[in-house]
Amino acid sequence: MKKKILVTRQYPPAGIRLLEKENHVLTIWDKSRSMTQDELIRASLDHDAILCTLTDRIDARFLDQCRHLEMISQFAVGFDNIDVKHATQLGIPVGHTPGVLTRATADLAFGLMIAVARKMIFNHKTILRGEWGSFNPTGHLGVELKGKRLGVFGLGRIGIETALLCKKAYDMDVIYCNRTGNPDAEALLDAKPVDFDTLLAKSDIVSVHCVLSPQTEGVFDLKAFKKMKPTAIFINTARGGIHRETDLIQALEQGLIWGAGLDVTDPEPMSADNPLLDMETVCVLPHVGSATVEARSAMSVLAATNLIEFYKNGTIPHIVNPEVIKK
Ligand code: GLV
């Protein structure tokens, strides 16, 4: 069944080729910036489905004007940019791309831990400034990760993969805080479930892997940072809205925690004059958790497959709101 699909960015070609092979007619937004919401609405009006991503605002305003859409296929595992409840009420199914970016994102969380612990970005910047003096026996000192305790906030696919890396590389003890228990993961990681306050108080590294939701928005605020160890490292590769940035800055300035590694900020992009960027024990990356050739290509295939299967046989392999299809 030939359909008109709006493709909101230039996604990796593997998935695009699959859609073309099925003879779908694609309109690809080829600018380097995302569409404004008005551009997105105008363009969607003339299409049957959209292939979109986390920078596209698919809220009630969008959905009310684009209620004709037959499907929304999200190129990302997270979907907090989409008002899924509203899409469900309108009967629009939403697909996403879980699993294929797990390893890439866990690698980045793990990398951020080392980068922060050894002040890698800060030390690199000293060279750029021409400040590489002679070997300094007491300078540039970081901390070691071996045998430390990892606290995972949100023990889903990416949290588990990150914890596995930490266990294998550094024999870390793992505790976690999750909405529900995860006995399989507990067995795999020898991990213990704890409440939020215990996670904060007992972890040497807290790594955030939950979804952004009304329950998790801003949970890492000054009150939470005050409960962490002054030697702790805070890592967030999930969504910037889960921590309060001004509180994090204050916590680092006051020495309430030792360091932070962020792949996500709020807002994104982070402004170039953000004080976090000048801190010795902070490493900030521009939301690149899934940015490997392998993961992005697989995400493109999955997002396309969700559309193809939907139009071929009415099923979506990775659906966010399955109740719509069952109706
Ligand atoms: C990236 O942040 C994603 O949700 O896939």
pLDDT tens-digit series, residues 197-213? 999 999 999 999 999 99
* CB-based pocket (< 6 A), ligand 1: 54, 76-78, 101, 289-290
Which residues, in sequence order, are CB contacts of 127 under 8 Å at separation 6+? none
By most ligand atoms within 8 Å of CB, the mutation choice from 290, 296, 297, 302 for ligand 1 is 290
> Active site includes 239?
yes
Assess whether 153 and 263 both reside in one domain.
yes
Q: How many domains does the chain have?
A: 2
Assess whether 72 and 113 both reside in one domain.
no
Assess whether 262 and 318 both reside in one domain.
no
Assess whether 205 and 280 both reside in one domain.
yes
Assess whether 90 and 138 both reside in one domain.
no
> To the nearest whole percent, how much of the chain has pLDDT over 70?
100
Assess whether 108 and 254 both reside in one domain.
yes
Assess whether 88 and 143 both reside in one domain.
no
Tokens 């999200």 locate to 74
> Active site includes 244?
no
User: pTM of the entire structure?
Assistant: 0.96
Q: Contact at 8 Å (CB) between 199 and 80?
A: no
Assess whether 132 and 159 both reside in one domain.
yes
327, pLDDT greater than 70: no
* SS3 per residue for 168-237: HHHCCEEEEECCCCCHHHHHHHCCEECCHHHHHHHCCEEEECCCCCCCCCCCECHHHHHCCCCCCEEEEC
What is the CB-side half-sphere exposure of residue 30 using CA atoms within 13 A?
4
> Residue 147's domain is classified under what CATH number?
3.40.50.720
pLDDT digits (tens, 9 = 90+) for 271-308: 999 999 999 999 999 999 999 999 999 999 999 999 99
Assess whether 154 and 272 both reside in one domain.
yes
Catalytic-labelled residue, pool 9, 287, 296, 318: 287
Assess whether 264 and 205 both reside in one domain.
yes
Provide the domain limits for residue 31.
4-99+293-326
Which residues, in sequence order, are CB contacts of 21 under 8 Å at separation 6+? none
